[in-house]
Structure 1
Amino acid sequence: MKENSVKILTKTLPFLFFILTNIGIYGQTDVPAHPKSDFWKHVQFGGGFGLAIGSDYTDVTLAPSAIYNFNDYISIGTGLQGSIVSQKNYYNSSIYGVSIFTLFNPVEEIQLSLEVEQVRVNNTFRNTTTGTLKDNFWNTGLFVGAGYRMENVTVGIRYNLLFDNDKSVYSEALMPFIRVYF
Structure 2
Amino acid sequence: IALDKYFRIKEKDTPDCVVNIWYDNAYCGQHQYKGRTTNTYTVSIPMRAILALSSSFNMGSNDKNVVMHKRGNGRLYYRIAMYYAPTSLQLNAVNYGFKIERTYTAIDHLSHVQQQSDGTWNFRLNEKIKVTLTMTTTQRRYHVALVDYLPAVCEPLNTKLNGTMTDYTNSSVTRSKRSSRYSEYRLNSTIGWAEY
Higher helix content, 1 or 2:
1
Higher strand content, 1 or 2:
1
Give the structure with higher Rg (CA).
1
Q: TM-score range by the shorter chain?
A: under 0.3
Q: What's the TM-score, normalizing by structure 2?
A: 0.19
Higher relative contact order (Cα pairs below 8 Å, separated by 6+ residues): 2
